[in-house]
Amino acid sequence: DDPSTWLAGIYGRVAGRGDFLSSDELAVFAGRLGASGLTGQLNLYRNIDRNLEDVAALVGRPITQPTLMVTADRDPVLPASMADGMVPLVADLERAHIDDCGHWTQQERPDQVNEVLLDWLGRRVPA
């Protein structure tokens, strides 16, 4: 019944580090969850068929946009090996990997993620 306990349990299983959120930050997320429940998150799955219809014309077409895929070594939701399937589909793919990190890379390792992003953008975006 307590959103804080539920969220702490989820975050503890998916995060690479248990200390990536302060108790104040966790309280904000728990407050929002307590107010709205999981409706927003579940709507993605409720609408999945329509989303697939919207992108049906793109199936099989290569992605040509320069793409950076950041993976983490302790991510149980999206293991780095899952990104291997991107190679034949994304013509201009670059991969980066964050060590000692779980699913929420930006929150768990913000300095490392920013370093990766700034390096990639510095090389890919004309000044």
Tokens of 10: 């989820």
Task: Please name the residues in contact with 87: beta carbons below 8 A apart, sequence gap of 6 or more.
Answer: 93
Report the SS3 class of residue 72.
Answer: strand
Per residue in 113-125, pLDDT (tens digit) is 999 999 999 999 8
Q: Left, alpha or beta for 100 (phi > 0: left; psi -120 to 50: alpha)?
A: left
Per residue in 90-121, pLDDT (tens digit) is 999 999 999 999 999 999 999 999 999 999 99
Report the SS3 class of residue 68.
Answer: strand
Claim: this prediction has a pTM higher than 0.85: no
